[in-house]
Every structure is written in structure tokens, then in C-alpha cells.
Amino acid sequence: MVVDPSEFIRFGDWFWEAIVPFLLTIVTLLVGGLVFWFVQLAVRRHPRVAVDIIGRTLHNSIFRDLPSTSLRRILAMARLAIHEALRSRVLVIFAIFVVLLLFGGWFLDVENDHPARLYLTFVLSSTSYLIIALAMFLSAFSLPNDIKNRTIYTITTKPVRSHEIFMGRVIGFAAVGTILLLMMGTISYMFVWRGLDHTHTIDVADLNYDSDRKEWTGRTSFDRHHFHDVIISNETKRGIAMTSKGHQHEITVVGEGTDVQFEVGPPVGDLLARVPVYGELSFLDRYGNQAESGLNVGKSWGYRTYIEGNTLNTAIWKFGDQATSQITSATFPDEKIPLEMDLRVFRTNRGDIESKIRGEVILMSTDPIAKVQESLPINFEATEFATLRMDIPFSDVKYLDPISAKPISVDVFNDLIVNGELKVGIRCKEHAQFFGMARADLYLRGPDQSFIINFAKSYVGIWMQMLLVTLFGVLFSTFLNGIISLKATLAIIVLGTFAGFITAIQTDDVSTGGGPIEALVRGVTQQGAETELNVSDGARDVIEALDGAYLWTMNVVSQIAPRYPEFNTADKVAYGYDISMDLLLRHLTVTLGYFMVISIIGTLILRSREVAA
């Protein structure tokens, strides 16, 4: 799973880094809005009249309307918005969602290697798309329809403040979306749980009994398009159906002798919320010297870099520094180091394509004068496109004694872990083969969290997206008609979603054919993107100027728009990773910031608009 580098930053560090740009953006927006407001009024009337209107509006909003805010009136406006939404038949969205689940159960690939990932991605994506569409339509058409039908007259003639109208609309529509999300989340969880729940049977005749080891081995029945290899101990009367399709089953032995039976439990391991503890990644080159990064094997995507096999080229993760929690005895309660890795393999020769590439783990001390600098290598085989779990017992951690030249057991906490810090190195042992990794591809696995709570956190992310869409929809509806408000809200969603791509185009990181105007000229004149544009110098200057202005405007707007993909945590839930509280607090802070700013802007616009004129 791809992890954004910003997720490694703790909430406190992120907040103090983000607060200054946020305040500067607010000041810029407010000043820019006041300037635009002044110019508009000055052109329509007179500069002196414009100053008078703006001053009076700001004075009345701050010193008269704000102190007299009534929660009762806000809730009344919210109740009105809820009734309006119900009249718009919003429950149709829920009906569509239920129909999608019914048909989805037929068409989802039940033979998929990761059915839990497939089910969770389906329900979370469906919920997100439907609830965002609902928020767009409800918020964009609300105020314009009231103004068009003149039903807002009965409100503005009452002692209801502009900010109470704005906040009442937002709260009302958000309440409708929240109720729908609760219903959809409950149905989604039941759909996922029911779709993954199954069991197997075991026939004694299909098992082999090893009298020396006192255990049964064999296979389960073939159900849900798969079976499991089993190992069952006759002494403990328990066994396990080993991992298949991302899960396993616990087995209990019932009875004795010829009456023995095997009860297979429900699937375990499909619905997880594992907690990764990330470290900082650094590299050694093929000669063992410090390197700035890993190798580039020619892949255009730079998320991962690679280390060369059969050399001293090493990827080293440092755990326990300021970026992560310190390592203590509580981190390894079972006296095992719980490592998980998701490495990529780049083969320069095919060899046996079905064989796994061998690698080794080396535990290292962060103290340059420690008695034990590094452990002896611990071998593993990389599993491509699957997470490999390695529980390294402390008893398996040894180092080579320089005097006797014999392996000696290491006291992990006294010899390797210094000041709560530990390094873990990865090397590839195969000649002419490469391991690829990013910072998030190896981590220490902490105690798992509740999947249900993690599932709910993902729906909180969808709720925040819905609230942001509602805010912008109500904002645009204060000065635009319904259709234009809908288009403007959709434009903000698109710009926020593709903000990174737009920035990359402006900086020529992904675009070789220029901006949109140049691309249009190339398309009409049938000129390739890699060739120099065959036009006159004057025409080229005009095209570049237009492209520059257009891309600059798009980039500025996209930077102001919320980064909606960052709120989408469906991948984390689907891949079985816990959504950290740092990430959730960051999203809540961003949502609160947008709520405050947009509420102020929307109130001023609605306050200055003569809706009942």
C-alpha cells in the first residue's frame, strides 16, 4: 500500500508547520474578497458608496449580528433544511446504495485472492460517491430555489441573521448526510461480514497422522473457491487452517479415537486493523558506504528505490527516534521482534520465475561504540505483492564473537537497543536481483486495534468530505443560481482531487507538450508533443502567456480547494491498517478550518445580498 510521506509527521509537528500558511491563506482570501467586493460595488455605484456599504456590513456583522446569535434560530433553520431535503427524496440515495449492494454481491469476484479488500473497497467507494453527489445537489440548489420561489422572504423578514441562515443550512444538510452515513455504514458492515463469513469441514479420512509429532496434517474441504492446509496437534487438541486468501481458521478437536471430529471456526485475519510503527529509511551503497538513496532501476514511478543483490547495498530503517515512539520492553511483550515487510522484486534474469528471492535481515545498534554493532543475518524469502510477517524470537538473534569466532546469543535490550532506538537492515542475497522499498514497506507491528472502530474512522473521513462539499455548495449558492453553483462545487472537487497533477503540469514535471492552449494548437496542426512547436515567435509568446496565466489560476484555486483524496482512507481499511489518530486529527482540523473560513465568507456574501429586494 502506498503511504503519503506526510503521514509520518505527528499531529503536533504538522499543526505548527501548517498554522502559518493557513493564517496567511485566510488573510489573503479575506483581503482579496474585500478588494473584489469593493471593485464590484465601485463599478456599479460609486467608490464612496462601496466603502460605506462594506464598512456598514462588517460593523453590523461583527458588533450586532454575532453577539445576538441564537442557537434556537440556527436549529430552526437546520430543521427547515432537513424538511427540504426529505421533500427532495434523499432516501432515494439509500435505496440506490442497497440496490448496489444486492447486485454487488452477485458480480464481485468471489475467487479473488483478497476478497476482504475487494468487499471493503466496494462498499467504501460506493458510499463516498453517493454521499458526495447527494451533498452537491442538496447544497447547490437550496438557497437559489428559495430565492426563486420567494420562500426565503418569510425568513429574512424575521429576526434571523445571515450567519444563522448559512449555518442552519450547512448543519441541516450535514445532519441528513450523517443519518444516511450511519445507515449506510451499518448495512455496509453487515454486507462485508456476511460476504466473508464461511467455514470448512474436515474429513478424518483426508488427514495423515504423524505418531512421532502427534499431529494431523491435510486439507480442509473446498468451499468458497478455496481450501486450507491444516496442522492439528493431538496434544493440545487444537490446530490451524493456514493462511489462504488472506485469512485462516482455528480448529478444535472433539472426541477421541474413532469418534474424533474437527470443528472449524470462522475466518480470522480478513478484517484487521494492524498498527504499523514506521522508522526512518536510509541506505548503504554496494560498498557499504552511506548513500543518499537507493538505486533507480528505470521505473518511472519514484515511490520506491532499490538495492542490489549479493553486495553490501543495504536499506536501513531506524526505529525509536523522534519520528516514532521509543522501543521498550512493552513493544515486544512476547520477546519477539514483530516485523512486517512489503518488498518489491526486480529481476534482471528470469531464472526460476516461481522461486522466491532470498534476502536477509540484520539488526543493528545505533551506538557506534556498543559491544554488538550488528547481529548475524536472519534469512527470509521475499513474497512479491504480499505482506511478509517475520516474528524474530530474541533467542534467534546472535552475533559473531570476535575472539572465539562462534555465534553467541544477544541480549537484545542491553546489547542492541540503545536509548529506545534500533536499526533494521535489509539486504538481497541473489546476484543480479534487486529489492525495492519505500519507507512504509517495513515496519514494526504494534498491537492490533478494533476493526469496527477502524471501519467507523473511515466513515468519519467520508463524513468530512461530505461536510466540505456541503460548505462549498451553500457558499456558491449564496450568489449563484442552482446550476452554476453545482458546476462550481464540482469544479472545486475536481481541482482539489487533482491538485498535485495540476501543480506538476505547471512545473513541467509531467507535461511535455505545454499547457492546454499549446496542446490544442498541436492537436489542430497535428504536431507531436515531443517536437518543438512550429509557429511564429509572436504566436509562441502569446500561447505561452495564455497557458501560464491559465495554469497559474488553476494552480492557485486548486491549492485553496480541499485535498479530497487525503480524506479517503478506504485503502487503509481494505489493506488492514489502522487509521492513526494523528491522521484523523489532521483531517478534523482541516475541516474545522474550512468550516470557519467558508462560514465567514458565506455570511458576508449573504449579508450584502438583497435577497428580498
Same domain, 489 and 577: yes
Stretch among 125-129, 280-284, 351-355, 418-422 having the lowest mean pLDDT: 351-355
Stretch 514-535: mean pLDDT: 80
Is pLDDT above 90 for 331? no
Rounded to whole angstroms, the Cα distance separating 410 from 398 reads 5
Stretch 117-126: mean pLDDT: 91
pLDDT digits (tens, 9 = 90+) for 431-452: 889 999 999 999 998 888 999 9
Question: Last residue of some domain: 229, 251, 268?
Answer: 268
Grid coordinates representing 499 are 491538485
Same domain, 431 and 483: no
CATH code: domain of residue 383: 2.60.120
Is pLDDT above 60 for 571? yes
The letter for the amino acid at 548 is G
Residue 223 belongs to domain spanning: 204-268
Task: Calculate the CA 435 to chain-centre distance.
Answer: 25
Grid coordinates representing 15 are 499543526
> Does a structural domain hold residue 158?
yes
Rounded to whole angstroms, the Cα distance separating 172 from 74 reads 9
SS3 459: helix
Q: Kindly report the backbone phi and psi dihedral angles of residue 407, in degrees, each rounded to the nearest multiple of 5, phi listed first.
A: -70, 135
Helix (H) or strand (E) holding 9: none
**Bigger pLDDT: 89 vs 494:** 494
Q: CB–CB of 441/342 below 8 Å?
A: yes
pTM for the full predicted model: 0.88
Grid coordinates representing 57 are 456590513
Gyration radius from the chain CA atoms = 30
Determine what percent of the chain is predicted with pLDDT higher than 70: 94
Determine what percent of the chain is predicted with pLDDT higher than 90: 29
> Does a structural domain hold residue 613?
no
Q: CB–CB of 418/365 below 8 Å?
A: yes
Same domain, 23 and 171: yes
Same domain, 479 and 588: yes
pLDDT digits (tens, 9 = 90+) for 9-18: 888 888 888 8
> Does a structural domain hold residue 438?
yes
> What count of other Cβ atoms lies within 10 Å of the Cβ of residue 109?
9
Same domain, 149 and 82: yes
Same domain, 141 and 260: no
Number of domains in the chain: 3
Instruction: Specify the pLDDT at position 28.
Output: 79
SS3 193: helix
Is pLDDT above 70 for 157? no
Is pLDDT above 60 for 611? no
In order of 23, 310, 381, 531, 594, the CA distances from 20 in angstroms are: 5, 48, 47, 43, 15
Same domain, 424 and 477: no
In order of 27, 239, 302, 522, 572, the CA distances from 293 in angstroms are: 39, 45, 11, 38, 26
Stretch 228-255: mean pLDDT: 84
**Do the strands 422-428 and 336-341 form a parallel or antiparallel pair, or are they unpaired?**
unpaired
Task: Calculate the CA 454 to chain-centre distance.
Answer: 12
Stretch among 223-237, 356-370, 488-502, 515-529 having the lowest mean pLDDT: 515-529
**Bigger pLDDT: 339 vs 41:** 339
Stretch 129-139: mean pLDDT: 91
**Bigger pLDDT: 391 vs 609:** 391
String of b and e for 514-523 (b: at least 16 CB within 10 Å)? bbebbeebbe
Rounded to whole angstroms, the Cα distance separating 522 from 389 reads 52
Stretch 541-546: mean pLDDT: 85
In the block, residue with C-alpha cell 478588494 = 35
Same domain, 9 and 121: yes
pLDDT digits (tens, 9 = 90+) for 184-232: 999 999 999 988 888 898 888 888 888 888 888 888 888 888 888 899 8
**Bigger pLDDT: 154 vs 527:** 527
Same domain, 63 and 158: yes
Instruction: Specify the pLDDT at position 47.
Output: 85
Rounded to whole angstroms, the Cα distance separating 279 from 445 reads 11
The letter for the amino acid at 304 is R
Same domain, 282 and 377: yes
Going by C-alpha positions, the residue among 355, 343, 359 that lies closest to residue 309 is 359
Same domain, 236 and 279: no
Instruction: Specify the pLDDT at position 322.
Output: 53
Question: Last residue of some domain: 446, 463, 484?
Answer: 446
Same domain, 190 and 223: no
> Does a structural domain hold residue 362?
yes
Instruction: Specify the pLDDT at position 613.
Output: 45
> What count of other Cβ atoms lies within 10 Å of the Cβ of residue 190?
11
**Bigger pLDDT: 509 vs 471:** 471
**Bigger pLDDT: 531 vs 336:** 336
Show Cβ contacts of residue 123 under 8 Å, excluding neighbours closer than 6 positions: 101, 188, 191, 192
Show Cβ contacts of residue 187 under 8 Å, excluding neighbours closer than 6 positions: 97, 98, 101
Question: Last residue of some domain: 237, 268, 299?
Answer: 268
Going by C-alpha positions, the residue among 366, 348, 346, 344 that lies closest to residue 425 is 366
